[in-house]
Structure 1
Amino acid sequence: MKRTLASTAVGILAVAIASTASAALKPEEQIQYRQAGYSFMSWNMGKIKANLERDYNQAQVAAAANAIAAIANSGMGALYGPGTDKDVGDTETHVKPELFQNMEEVGKLAGDFVAAADKLNAVAATGDQSAVQTAFGDLGKTCKACHQKFRADD
């Protein structure tokens, strides 16, 4: 119960900060920065996946997990400001407008994602490949949960 409330509070706080932090950025810049953050996390997810499927290198996995957790905890919610619910000029977005109408749910999903990224980061530091496999799968589920509801098809 406390975890759910904390996750929701983190998400709502991120959205509240968004109006202040995003004021300095144009909508197209917010879209570009958030896409860059997600691309960087995706690249690091790929590195972890490759290590789990081949020769496991704990240092590479730990570095990738740390990068993912850093981006997850960076306040990316601030990059979902007004005007970022649609394409802006040549900058396309993949977010569905419904995201902006369901901020409580988005806050919960964001909190789940951050918690899973933090757990993967902690587990990766231990070097336990089996635990990393599980935490990596859990993180992937949090990504998928948001994508299914709030990400438009390419």
Structure 2
Amino acid sequence: MKKSIALAAFGIAAFSFAATASAQAKPEDQIKYRKAGYSFMSWNMGKIKSNLEGTYNKDQVIAAANAIAGIANSGMGALYGPGTEKDVGDQKTRAKPELFQNMQEVGRIATDFNAATAKLASAAATGDKAAVQAAFGEVGKNCKACHDKFRAD
């Protein structure tokens, strides 16, 4: 219980700190960078899925899991600064306005996602396909938790 409270507090603090750092990039760039980060994570999720469904290559899975964890834990919250709740210039966003109104919940979801990606990287390092499968499923559940609440179709 204390661990989950500490993780939630850390996630909220990290998200808040990251949002402060967003002043360094224009809103249009923030949207562009966060879309690139999520696209790169998605591509790597696809690589892991392919390995789980086909011939399992431990090295490919490790590289993909580390890439996902690295981006997830890179301070992506900084890319949700003021002005990024709507389309800006040629950059379209699928973030719902509710995301920007529920930062405490978003911080909790982000903390859970970051923890899940770290567990995926740890599982991948073991080479245990079953452990990767379980951790991969948890990352997917965390992605869905945010998408269902805060991402427009």
TM-score class, shorter-chain normalisation, is: over 0.9
Unmatched segments (≥5 aa) in structure 2: none
For residues 105 and 20 of structure 1, what CA distance do their matches in structure 2 show? 18
**Alignment-derived partner of residue 30 in structure 2:** 30
Identity of aligned residues (%): 71
Contact 1:7 1:110 in 2 (8 A): no
**Alignment-derived partner of residue 96 in structure 1:** 96
- Structure 1 residue 6: Cα displacement: 2.4
- Structure 1 residue 89: Cα displacement: 1.6
Q: How do residues 2-81 of structure 1 correspond to structure 2 at under 5 angstroms?
A: 2-81=2-81
Paired amino acid for 2:48? I
For residues 24 and 51 of structure 2, what CA distance do their matches in structure 1 show? 39
- SS of the residue 1:45 aligns to: helix
**TM-score, length of structure 2 as denominator length:** 0.96
Unmatched segments (≥5 aa) in structure 1: none
Q: How do residues 115-154 of structure 1 correspond to structure 2 at under 5 angstroms?
A: 115-153=115-153
Report how many residues are paired.
153
Contact 1:62 1:125 in 2 (8 A): yes
- Structure 1 residue 105: Cα displacement: 0.6
Paired amino acid for 2:85? D
Change (3 A) 1:19 1:126: closer
Paired amino acid for 1:104? Q
Paired amino acid for 2:144? K
**TM-score, length of structure 1 as denominator length:** 0.96
Note the alpha carbon deviations across 1:63-105, whole angstroms, 9 max, x for none. Answer: 1000001001101001100010000121100100000111111
- Structure 1 residue 19: Cα displacement: 3.9
**Alignment-derived partner of residue 87 in structure 1:** 87
